[in-house]
Amino acid sequence: MDLILRNISQLILPQKKMWKIKRPKNASLFIKNGKVVAAGSNESSYLQLKKNLKDDWNNFLSSTEVLDCSGKIVTPGLVDPHTHSVFGATRQNEFKMRSEGKSYLEIAESGGGIRYSVRQLRKLSERKLVEATIPFLDRFFELGTTTVEVKSGYGLSLKDELKMLKVVRRLNAVHKITLIPTFLGAHEVPDEYRDNREKYIDIITQEMIPEVAESRLAEFCDIFTETGVFTIAESEKILGVAKDFGLKIKMHVEEFTDIGGAELAGKLGAVSADHLECVSDAGIKSMKNGGTVPVLLPGTALFLGLKNYPPARKMIEAELPVALGTDFNPGSSFTQSLPLMMTIACTQMKMTPDEAFYAVTVNSAKAVAREGLGTLDIGSVADFVVWDAKDLETLPYYFGGNLVERTYKNGELVYSKK
Ligand SMILES: [Zn+2]
């Protein structure tokens, strides 16, 4: 867990002040016991090291493995703040149907979509789901992501929602990646309660939330607030109960229509409000007042072939800490690549490469209440990535490929390109 990275072409250091990124050239990064002990230009980082390690620094220098990073950049590990990484089956048949002209809504109405994912997930045991998810977690490391938020929401019964969250707990124990669990029982009303949605909401508030909170299976409670899914009044009720049980709040809002979800998120002090393609000015203002992080998921518009991307510039001008996520899920966004999200953010939403990078590190960490992650400040955990690129712009510029050479988690090598 001790390592010295030397001659880094650019060391990418996001700062606390929003959107500010330092990028010293010919830089070094020093890792001791899985933590950053010095980072900066070759010269200044040596001075830091001496100061931080005191008498021990000479011994550290002579006994620690050195990695030469000439021609490479090194960045903090990326944080994906919104995924549905546990699922029973992929849905490439729906992708084919969309390519033939069917819409997401038409496919959902004919038995596909989230309800198809629910039927598939319910069939599988906890063990089978753990086995099926591990290769995807390995791939997050391969793409430079070291922390991932994961939602339930394909179970939609007490038993199956708990099963999904237990899968996440188990994966956290057996895999080196950090998973942050979110309860999303209010993802959709399941088939068996289509004619009695009140009953399903009672199950969420009276059975699921108390059980999830008491067994500490989730940190956040999320909901899909949208026309035809959960109304504002229903969302307020469900999230109010979640807050009473000590869960932090996230919301899926304003993806297809504006029904005031972002306004509610701000009012409830939600940690994040996600999607926001159709957000109103009032919604932006409310998020600002409530300290809510907007999480934009531009992979969905690309993958569904839609034209409406969230108004990122407007939110940046309102001084909101805009974050980016993949929304990795088998239906509307089957990608795990945050660099690809950066590309779409730059080309379709006119974010700069610096803003896009800040949005997948510092701001996305904030969106999962993990401030301090997404940086390489002294004392922070040594989650970092070595990229085959000479500067930061190359990450979103080279799209559709993978520039990751090595990924480290807590100072330990967890992925290396052959
Ligand atoms: Zn989602």
- Averaged over successive runs of 10 residues, the pLDDT of the chain (418 residues) comes to 95 97 97 96 91 88 94 98 97 94 86 92 98 98 98 98 98 98 96 95 98 98 96 98 98 96 98 97 98 98 94 98 98 97 98 98 98 96 97 97 97 95
Check residue 55 and give its pLDDT: 83
The alpha carbon of 146 and the centre of ligand 1 are apart by a number of angstroms equal to 19
Residues 218 and 250 sit within 8 Å (Cβ to Cβ): no
The alpha carbon of 325 and the centre of ligand 1 are apart by a number of angstroms equal to 10
Beta bridge partners of residue 251, listed in sequence order:
273
Question: How many other β-carbons are positioned within 10 Å of the β-carbon of residue 65?
Answer: 9
Residues 78 and 338 sit within 8 Å (Cβ to Cβ): yes
Check residue 57 and give its pLDDT: 86
Distances, alpha carbon 258 to alpha carbons 170, 252, 318, 399, in Å: 37, 12, 19, 31
The alpha carbon of 417 and the centre of ligand 1 are apart by a number of angstroms equal to 30
The alpha carbon of 230 and the centre of ligand 1 are apart by a number of angstroms equal to 14
The alpha carbon of 33 and the centre of ligand 1 are apart by a number of angstroms equal to 35
The alpha carbon of 268 and the centre of ligand 1 are apart by a number of angstroms equal to 19
The alpha carbon of 252 and the centre of ligand 1 are apart by a number of angstroms equal to 7
The alpha carbon of 153 and the centre of ligand 1 are apart by a number of angstroms equal to 9
Buried b (16+ CB within 10 A) or exposed e, 157-182: beebbbbbbbbbbbbbeebebbbbbb
Amino acid at 209: I
The alpha carbon of 154 and the centre of ligand 1 are apart by a number of angstroms equal to 11
Residues 184 and 151 sit within 8 Å (Cβ to Cβ): yes
Check residue 108 and give its pLDDT: 84
User: Which residue matches tokens 């379709």?
Assistant: 348
The alpha carbon of 83 and the centre of ligand 1 are apart by a number of angstroms equal to 6
pTM over the 0.95 mark: yes
Angle between helices 281-290 and 261-268 (to 10 degrees): 10
- Chain-centre distance for alpha carbon 52: 32
How far is the C-alpha of 8 from the C-alpha of 29, rounded, in Å? 8
The alpha carbon of 327 and the centre of ligand 1 are apart by a number of angstroms equal to 5
The alpha carbon of 3 and the centre of ligand 1 are apart by a number of angstroms equal to 37
The alpha carbon of 109 and the centre of ligand 1 are apart by a number of angstroms equal to 19
3-state secondary structure the chain: CCEEEEEEEEECEECCCCCCEECCEEEEEEEECCEEEEEEEHHHHHHHHHHHHHHHHHHHHHHCCEEECCCCEEEECEEECCECCCCCCCCHHHHHHHHCCCCHHHHHHCCCCHHHHHHHHHHCCHHHHHHHHHHHHHHHHHCCEEEEEEECCCCCCHHHHHHHHHHHHHHHHHCCCEEEEEEEEECCCCHHHCCCHHHHHHHHHHHHHHHHHHCCCCCEEEEEECCCCECHHHHHHHHHHHHHCCCEEEEEECCCCCCCHHHHHHHHCCCEEEECCCCCHHHHHHHHHHCCEEEECHHHHHHHCCCCCCCHHHHHHCCCCCEECCCEECCCECCCCHHHHHHHHHHHHCCCHHHHHHHCCHHHHHHCCCEEEECCCCCCECCEEEECCCCCCHHHHCCCCCCEEEEEECCEEEEECC
Check residue 319 and give its pLDDT: 98
The alpha carbon of 179 and the centre of ligand 1 are apart by a number of angstroms equal to 15
The alpha carbon of 328 and the centre of ligand 1 are apart by a number of angstroms equal to 8
Question: How many other β-carbons are positioned within 10 Å of the β-carbon of residue 350?
Answer: 13
Beta bridge partners of residue 73, listed in sequence order:
10, 387
How far is the C-alpha of 84 from the C-alpha of 151, rounded, in Å? 5
Residues 390 and 382 sit within 8 Å (Cβ to Cβ): no
Check residue 373 and give its pLDDT: 97
Q: Which domains does the chain have, with CATH numbers?
A: 3-76+375-416 (2.30.40.10), 78-374 (3.20.20.140)
How far is the C-alpha of 415 from the C-alpha of 417, rounded, in Å? 7
How far is the C-alpha of 287 from the C-alpha of 290, rounded, in Å? 5
The alpha carbon of 75 and the centre of ligand 1 are apart by a number of angstroms equal to 26
Question: How many other β-carbons are positioned within 10 Å of the β-carbon of residue 352?
Answer: 14
The alpha carbon of 185 and the centre of ligand 1 are apart by a number of angstroms equal to 12
Residues 332 and 308 sit within 8 Å (Cβ to Cβ): no
Residues 307 and 328 sit within 8 Å (Cβ to Cβ): no
The alpha carbon of 273 and the centre of ligand 1 are apart by a number of angstroms equal to 11
How far is the C-alpha of 323 from the C-alpha of 359, rounded, in Å? 4
What tens digit of pLDDT does each residue of 355-392 get? 999 999 999 999 999 999 999 999 999 999 999 999 99
Residues 406 and 77 sit within 8 Å (Cβ to Cβ): no
